[in-house]
Amino acid sequence: MNIMCLRNGTKDKVHCIKVANVLNRLYFSDNMIRIAICNLKNALLPEGYLFVIDNRKNENSSQFKLSVDNEFVFVKDINRGCDIKDLIICSF
């Protein structure tokens, strides 16, 4: 799935998505990251988990859970966490 192309949803939803070294502001604008987050949200089952990892220099990651209200809820960081946490929590 190309997460940068806006879609309405996916047929088969999953429990967990891991995104590593892709969703960061060095590569994409905030708007493009928001589109990707929306697509990832549409691909997750309610109460599914999203792991966003950045290990280009050190291991940093953030974990989010999709609520039954279809909103991402922050769960925890490892080390500094990801640099797009604000975009994920405030996703549309």
Which value, to the nearest 10 degrees, does the dihedral of the CA atoms of residues 17, 3, 84, 58 take?
A: 60
Whole-number pLDDT of residue 58: 85
Residue 8 has pLDDT above 70, yes or no: no
54-88 pLDDT per residue, tens: 887 888 999 999 999 999 999 999 999 999 999 99
All structural domains of the chain with their residue ranges = 14-89
Whole-number pLDDT of residue 57: 80
28-39 pLDDT per residue, tens: 999 999 999 999
Residues 6+ apart with CB under 8 A from 89: 64, 72, 73, 74
| CA nearest neighbour of 61 among 82, 76, 40 | 82
Q: 26 or 56: whose pLDDT is higher?
A: 26
